[in-house]
Amino acid sequence: MGQFVQLTAADGFVFPAYEARPAGSPKGAVVVLQEIFGVNSHIRAVVDGYAAQGYLALAPATFHRVKADVELGYGPDDIAAGRELKAAVEGLPAPGVLPDIAATVAHAAQAGKVAVMGYCWGGLLAWRSACSLKGLSAAACYYGGGMTTADEVARQPQVPVLAHFGQHDHWISVDSVQAFARAHPDVQVHVYDADHGFNCDQRGSYDEASALVARDRTLA
């Protein structure tokens, strides 16, 4: 079971991050970036899971610059609220929320090498982090929303990247995933027989088999 800690970005902004520590000495650190639903029970469970695997794990509240204490579910109203919050954060002056992720990475570095991973919007943020932030050793992006658009494909990762997509994702076309893979042959791109959100066991699109394979690949 983890707890929230307060971190400070380079511009002085203070934000919470959910942190879970392993039983013994950490073998590294994982920064988990939320979906559009906040650092909710699912994201906290993901963090706890990576701590159980021996990593110091943290999930920064990447909505905090526009709204505090966001914890949404997965119903239509939650999705609408999450989209509005995402749009508000994406509309912040550059570099947006990246300083908060950078501060989380710096805090996590106490455990050694740091990986960043994210889901949906968090997958997009993980990709941006892999392309622009210092202090990372690897990144894993799960169905990164917007990640396969031209502007994002134009970015160049500075660390090894693993990308997970669903073949039946109606938000991210297979054609755009294939174009992304061609543009970035060094990125490990995997496409699963699954829908968007296949890693989340609180969503109807959860696919246990795909989630387990993706997790094994991410851990490796």
Catalytic residue among 42, 64, 164, 196: 196
User: Catalytic annotation on 169?
Assistant: yes
Q: How far apart are CA 215 and CA 70, in angstroms?
A: 26
- Neighbouring residues of 49: CB distance < 8 A, sequence distance ≥ 6: 57
Q: Would you say 17 and 72 are in contact if contact means Cβ atoms under 8 Å apart?
A: no
User: Catalytic annotation on 120?
Assistant: yes
Q: Would you say 132 and 156 are in contact if contact means Cβ atoms under 8 Å apart?
A: no
Three-point CA angle 14, 89, 183, nearest 5°: 115
Q: Which amino acid is at 32?
A: V
Catalytic residue among 64, 107, 141, 169: 169
Catalytic residue among 64, 100, 107, 120: 120
Q: How far apart are CA 21 and CA 107, in angstroms?
A: 13
Q: Would you say 36 and 129 are in contact if contact means Cβ atoms under 8 Å apart?
A: no
User: Catalytic annotation on 141?
Assistant: no
- The number of residues in the chain equals 220
**79-102 core/surface letters (b: 16 or more CB in 10 A; e: else):** eebbeebbeebeeeeeebbbbbbb
Q: What are the catalytic residues?
A: 120, 169, 196
